[in-house]
Amino acid sequence: MDDIILETRNLTKHYGGVHALQGANFVLRKGEHVAIMGDNGAGKSTFVRQITGVEQRTRGEIIFNGSPVNFAGPLDAREAGIETVFQTLALADHLDVSDNLFLGRERIRFRLGPFSILDYRAMREATLEALQRTGVKIPNIHNTIERMSGGQRQCVAIARTATFHSKLTIMDEPTAALGVQETAQVEAIIRTLKEQGEPLILISHNMRQVFDLVDRIVVFRRGRICANLRKEETDGQDVVAYITGAKTQPEYEDAA
Amino acid sequence: MSDRAHGIGGLKYDPRQKAKPQELNVLIALVLIVAAFELLGRLLYGDSFLFNTRPNVDAIFNWARLNIIILQVSIVGIIAIGVTQVIISGGIDLSSGSVVGATAMIVMSFAQTALVNGNPNPKAIFGDWAMDLPVLVPILVGLGCGLLAGAVNGVLIAYTRIPPFIATLGMMVSARGLARWWSNGQPVSFPTDSFAALGKGMMPVVYFILLAILFHLILRHTVYGKHTYAIGSNEDAARMSGINVARHKVIVYALAGMLAALAAIVLCSKNLTAQAGMGVMYELDAIAMSVIGGVSLAGGRGSIIGTVLGALIFGVIISGFTFLKLDAYYQEMVKGAIIVGAVVLDQWRQRRGAASP
């Protein structure tokens, strides 16, 4: 089908004898926002690490944007259009916002190999534009990252993924360490991505957030997918039942 | 579109809100140290440190002293420029002093003149073919040596993942050995006139200033500079952003090696001789200049302007101690204390920087 942006078939990862991820079949369509939920150690992060090439899967297939992919590392995934906001933010603390946004893909005024001259002005303007588009509010883009709050840092990391028109954004617990206001700010950005039709995989423990933001919830339990729920057809208690193992959808019965 | 009044909510760009440059603190420290020497000089000897007191000279400042201050730090200052970018990238280079020694020996061997006062050169290393070569030959040979030494450092650090401290320590010992082996410990002397002209008078200062400007521009305005800061700030982030960290490190150390070689060329030209013991402890002086100038040993922070100011502080302190007629022993003790003090300050600055919201 044309509108499938990401599909995994029988995706499996073993760490030695530990079966961290078992036969995950997952589909994400264009413009769709999907939450991945589950207890600690249920396989959520393992699942993401296989997709983004941080680790190499034991078995299974990943089909991204219509063709099977084998990412050797996170860079390959990024070049293919998968941007990830990791729990540990990949930001350079001593550089400012636009430096970080454009790190590794700087705008150039004059090409001279490694000594190419930076076009600060173009990067600054593109940064302001990107921040506006994503609704990120940062008091002064000339502040270095080390002078920013956790929420602002998270916003910069997200703005980076949004700046370069990625085909898929993955966020691994983006608000886990944030306060109420900062969380609201990050959620506003996620809504903006939704309006712009950018597909998203959100890993979160926050039930309220998940129900606010996404279309579909996929529940992982003990390394397997145990439920695939449309938001309208479920509620918080139902999801908790799946997370804890009280319920399992019939089509995933063998996972129990 | 005006630069200000941009954006929604709190989002704006205000050029006036740029963070206060850290170099300002170093500049203030420099001024305070000069003032302290001026005061002590007046109190103890009734003499001025900074100003001209000789009635037969028509000048406001004591130019002779000022010239010596900058001249005596400019050769190590050239090394410090290279060391600064190494430290910003999160590394350290202990080999530069020894690279100066080895390069000086090799360079001088290609810069010798055949006849000294009508007699054959008594210190000749090679045969007639290496005598009276164009001045470009020793320069290129020297730069090649520095590039090679630096690249070896860089490759060891980037590809074997051994700590920069160990890799450059190895180079420090080996290069010094090479310098001694080169002519069995004998000095190499009697350069051609054109080679001797390279380091005459205030020429070292000219090179120091030009190289400082060049590397300031490189670090601030090129992709290379941005990536150097990024790697020192967060190497994993740099790698995730697609920067070829290994290749970049090789360039960083190779450039540091070339700057050490340039310092060697200027030094042996100025002294008209090369000795195996040249450049001993220069690496530590260069590191000290950088650290005093605000370059963080943890990487990611610092600037060439800071290092130049750090070098000036260094020069002022050495001159000041001579001016106050204090023993050279005290100079070294105080130098050590200043280096430790600068690192303590850096640690404190980092903690404060990380804690602020």
Q: Would you give per-residue pLDDT tens digits along chain B (357 residues)?
A: 333 333 333 444 555 555 567 788 899 999 999 999 999 999 998 888 888 888 887 888 888 889 999 999 999 999 999 999 999 999 999 999 999 999 999 999 999 998 888 888 888 888 888 888 999 999 999 999 999 999 999 999 999 989 999 999 999 999 999 999 999 989 999 999 999 999 999 999 999 999 999 999 999 999 999 999 999 999 988 988 888 999 999 999 999 999 999 999 999 999 999 999 999 999 999 999 999 999 999 999 999 999 999 999 999 998 898 888 888 888 888 888 887 888 888 788 777 655 443
- Show residues of chain A in contact with B88, CB under 8 Å: none
| Tokens found for residue B34 | 């000069």
Q: Is residue B8 part of a domain?
A: no
Chain B interface test: which of A49, A106, A140, A152 (most B C-beta within 10 Å):
A140
CA distance, residue A229 to nearest chain B CA (Å):
33
Question: CB burial class (10 A; 0-12, 13-18, 19+) of residue A216?
Answer: buried
Q: How many domains does chain B have?
A: 1
Find the domain containing A18 and state its range.
4-255
In this predicted structure, the answer to whether residue A252 has a pLDDT above a threshold of 50 is yes
**A41-66 core/surface letters (b: 16 or more CB in 10 A; e: else):** ebbbbbbbbbbbbbbebeebebebee
> A8: closest CA among A91, A87, A71?
A71
Q: What is the pLDDT of residue B7?
A: 33
Chain A interface test: which of B8, B221, B351 (most A C-beta within 10 Å):
B221
> Which residues have CB under 8 Å from B22's CB, separation 6+?
B294, B301, B303, B306
Find the domain containing B70 and state its range.
22-355
**Number of neighbours of residue B307 by Cβ within 10 angstroms:** 31
Residue in A closest to B301 by C-alpha: A94
Q: Is residue B107 part of a domain?
A: yes
**Which secondary structure element, helix H or strand E, spans residue A217, and what is its range?**
strand A216-221
> Which residues have CB under 8 Å from B135's CB, separation 6+?
B111, B192, B194, B195, B198
In whole angstroms, give the CA distance from residue A222 to residue A229: 18
Q: What is the pLDDT of residue B17?
A: 53
Residue in B closest to A88 by C-alpha: B237
Q: Is residue B17 part of a domain?
A: no
CA distance, residue B85 to nearest chain A CA (Å):
14
| Tokens found for residue A115 | 């000594």
B14, B234, B357: residue with CB nearest A149: B357
Q: For A65, what's the count of Cα atoms within 13 Å in the CB-facing half-sphere?
A: 11
Predicted confidence (pLDDT) per residue in A23-37, tens digit: 899 999 998 999 999
Residue in B closest to A152 by C-alpha: B357
Q: What is the pLDDT of residue A251?
A: 77
| Tokens found for residue B183 | 């002519």
Question: What is the longest distance spanned by two Cα atoms in chain A?
Answer: 62
Residues of A with CB under 8 A from a CB of B: 74-75, 78-79, 89-95, 99, 103-106, 108, 112, 114-118, 120, 124, 128, 131-132, 135-144, 146-149
Using the beta-carbon criterion (under 8 Å), do B234 and A90 form an inter-chain contact? Answer: yes
Q: Read off the CATH number of the domain in which A114 is found.
A: 3.40.50.300
CA distance, residue B230 to nearest chain A CA (Å):
6
Residue in B closest to A52 by C-alpha: B240
> Residue length, chain B?
357
Q: Which amino acid is at A156?
A: V
> Residue length, chain A?
256
Q: List alpha helices for chain A, DSSP H.
A: 44-51, 74-80, 97-101, 120-134, 150-163, 180-195, 207-213, 236-244
Angle CA B18–B24–B26, to nearest 5: 145
- Show residues of chain A in contact with B7, CB under 8 Å: 128, 131-132
Using the beta-carbon criterion (under 8 Å), do B11 and A149 form an inter-chain contact? Answer: no
> In DSSP terms, which residues pair with A219 in a beta bridge?
A37, A227
Using the beta-carbon criterion (under 8 Å), do A93 and B233 form an inter-chain contact? Answer: yes
In this predicted structure, the answer to whether residue A131 has a pLDDT above a threshold of 60 is yes
In whole angstroms, give the CA distance from residue A48 to residue B350: 34
> Which residues have CB under 8 Å from B203's CB, separation 6+?
B197, B266, B270
Q: What is the ipTM metric for this complex?
A: 0.80
Q: Read off the CATH number of the domain in which B62 is found.
A: 1.10.3470
Q: How many domains does chain A have?
A: 1
Q: What is the dihedral of CA B311, B315, B318, B324, to 10 degrees?
A: -140
**Which secondary structure element, helix H or strand E, spans residue A15, and what is its range?**
strand A4-15
Using the beta-carbon criterion (under 8 Å), do B222 and A146 form an inter-chain contact? Answer: no
| Cα B286 from chain centre | 5
Using the beta-carbon criterion (under 8 Å), do B11 and A128 form an inter-chain contact? Answer: yes
Pairs across A and B, CB distance < 8 A: 114
pTM: 0.85
Which range has highest mean pLDDT (A73-77, A164-168, B300-304, B325-329)? B300-304
Q: How far apart are the first and last CA of chain B?
A: 31
Please count the helices (runs of H) and the strands (runs of E) in chain A.
Answer: 8, 12
B13, B237, B251: residue with CB nearest A114: B251
CA distance, residue A205 to nearest chain B CA (Å):
26
In whole angstroms, give the CA distance from residue A205 to residue B50: 67
> In DSSP terms, which residues pair with B51 in a beta bridge?
B61
